[in-house]
Amino acid sequence: MDKTILIELSYIVSAVLFIYGIKMLGSVDTARRGNRISALGMFIAVVATLLVQGMQYQYIVAGVIVGGTIGTVAALRIQMTSMPEFVALFNGTGGLASLLVGWANYQARMDGWSEGVPEEELISVVAIFLAVLIGGVTFTGSLIACGKLAEIPWHIESRLKKSETGLVALLLKAVRWPVKLTLDSKPVMYKGQQIVNSVLFALVLVCGAAFVYDPAGMYLPFLLSLVLALVLGVLFTIPIGGADMPVIISLLNSYSGLAACAAGFVISNTVLIVSGSLVGASGIILTKIMCKAMNRSLANVLFSGFGSTTTKTAKSVQGEAKPITAEDAYYVLEAASSVVFVPGYGMAMAQAQHAVRELGDLLQENGAEVKYAVHPVAGRMPGHMNVLLAEANVPYEQLVEMDDINPIMETVDVAIVIGANDVVNPAAREDEGSPIYGMPIINVDYAKTVFVLKRSMRAGFAGVDNPLFVAENTRMLFGDAKRSVEALVSGFKS
């Protein structure tokens, strides 16, 4: 069989495995198998690509060894609490790879376009620009998202030397060194922000049009568009508030797929086009699901600066919290016939998922009906809570979505909120002045009794106070979530 035909058939097999693997990722029961099937598809695609004549195998092997080592070590050492920023970082590396592919291909073909671009290669020129633009935005945007999720402190120190003169000296004097800058979850807003972003984006498009018109003679506009793409990635991401991070993670994931798809057109690689399109489309769909779960448009997420100063005035939370001990909470649970767990980022921080599953099993043995209600945007990335519960081997049939649990919440004896905050905040339903008003929530306050497991009364990632904490049917079980759940487990075992 001709080598070209064999390679194309291999790409088709890879594409089928990608699609089938992604479909299997939609269920907890089949997700691991779907991941293996998709990995097999990628392995076949890589092997087929290596069969192309003229490959420098020594560089390929070196790249596989270095990249594989870094990826393996990182995956083994990463904590589940750091998984959102880990995903954001991976999105960024995908964008950077696409940017470099487009740039390298342009460098290699620039001289051949000195007499003009053949009509059949015009798609490649456009694809190069798109790979650089989308890849650049994805790379720096993902780095900022990663920093916001990790709340990385940046310490910048310098000393103004007497010998420094001119513009550098003036700038250093103006900012008063040393400077401490913390990249936290709060949105960064400034006057005229959208105008600045629009002007820069328009400038990128102008550079892109000039590049497509004469790629051989427009190297400087190409470099300017590359730099502006990196700048826009930062400027587009800094206004995103912490509560909107699940949306921006899925959006950046989509960007990385679109950048890969553009890179596929650049190098005429079918499997890269297919896989990039799949990632781009699934990311957009997931972004839409995330926005729907918050009852907000994508434009509102990207441009509102959620969590920054707002004209809305939320009602002040009145009342006092009612603490409860683990021993007293045990007696309530021991008599309960139905219990619903509502996990949040606090469960991930405490690594309490295994203890929660053990408590759920003990409650079932005691005759209670147990469910786990998962909000679509709980945690700091799409599916964060589902991954944690699957890791603890929680039965898939016990996981219920928000729309399924809310109609029966009034019949639930005990709702146990573990580190969740904004996704169970009644202000989203009742307070028109609240920044999160209109966001669909899990109505745990309708349950007969609510246990909230938190370290303190501190507001959640959105920075909005929660009246649930002082409700009449709520009891606060303060402390580390894992230790609190383990104390309840000990109660049942003894």
- State the DSSP string of 77-122: H--GGGHHHHHHHHHHHHHHHHHHHHHHHHHHHTGGGTT---GGGH
| 412 in Cβ contact with 368 (< 8 Å) | no
| 245 in Cβ contact with 380 (< 8 Å) | yes
Instruction: Please provide residue 368's backbone torsions phi and psi, each rounded to the nearest 5 degrees.
Output: -90, 150
Q: Which residue has the higher pLDDT, 461 or 207?
A: 207
Q: Which residue has the higher pLDDT, 163 or 63?
A: 63
Burial of 37 (0-12, 13-18, 19+ CB in 10 A): buried
**Considering all CA atoms of the chain, what is the largest pairwise distance in Å, rounded to the nearest integer?**
85
- Residue 161 predicted with pLDDT over 80: no
Short-list 363, 466, 355, CA closest to 415? 363
What pLDDT does residue 243 have?
67
Kindly state the tokens that stand for 437.
């008003």
Tracing tokens 């890849």 back to the chain, one arrives at: 135
Torsion of CA 319, 320, 325, 330, to 10 degrees: 0
Q: Measured between alpha carbons, how far is 448 from 163 in angstroms, rounded to an integer?
A: 72
Region of 338 on the Ramachandran plot (φ > 0 left; ψ -120 to 50 alpha; else beta): beta
Q: Is the peptide bond before 178 cis (omega within 30 degrees of 0)?
A: yes
Q: Measured between alpha carbons, how far is 137 from 232 in angstroms, rounded to an integer?
A: 6
| 220 in Cβ contact with 273 (< 8 Å) | no
- Residue 102 predicted with pLDDT over 60: yes
The one catalytic residue among 184, 214, 413, 422: 422
Burial of 147 (0-12, 13-18, 19+ CB in 10 A): buried
Burial of 327 (0-12, 13-18, 19+ CB in 10 A): exposed
Averaged pLDDT of the chain:
84
What pLDDT does residue 158 have?
41
- Residue 162 predicted with pLDDT over 50: no
Per-residue pLDDT, averaged over 262-286, amounts to 90
Q: Measured between alpha carbons, how far is 202 from 216 in angstroms, rounded to an integer?
A: 22
Query: Is 422 noted as a catalytic residue in this protein?
Result: yes
Distances in Å between the Cα of 419 and the Cα atoms of 93, 323, 341, 429, 484 are: 31, 15, 11, 20, 12
Q: Measured between alpha carbons, how far is 451 from 453 in angstroms, rounded to an integer?
A: 6
- Residue 178 predicted with pLDDT over 50: no
- Residue 176 predicted with pLDDT over 60: no
Q: Let me know how many helices (H) and strands (E) the chain has, helices first.
A: 18, 8
Q: Measured between alpha carbons, how far is 345 from 461 in angstroms, rounded to an integer?
A: 9
Tracing tokens 């972004």 back to the chain, one arrives at: 287
Q: Measured between alpha carbons, how far is 344 from 244 in angstroms, rounded to an integer?
A: 15
Q: Which of 72-81, 95-104, 139-148, 149-158 has the highest mean pLDDT?
A: 95-104
- Residue 320 predicted with pLDDT over 50: yes
Kindly state the tokens that stand for 235.
């400027």
Q: pTM of the prediction?
A: 0.77
Which residues have CB under 8 Å from 371's CB, separation 6+?
338, 339, 340, 341, 398, 399, 400, 405
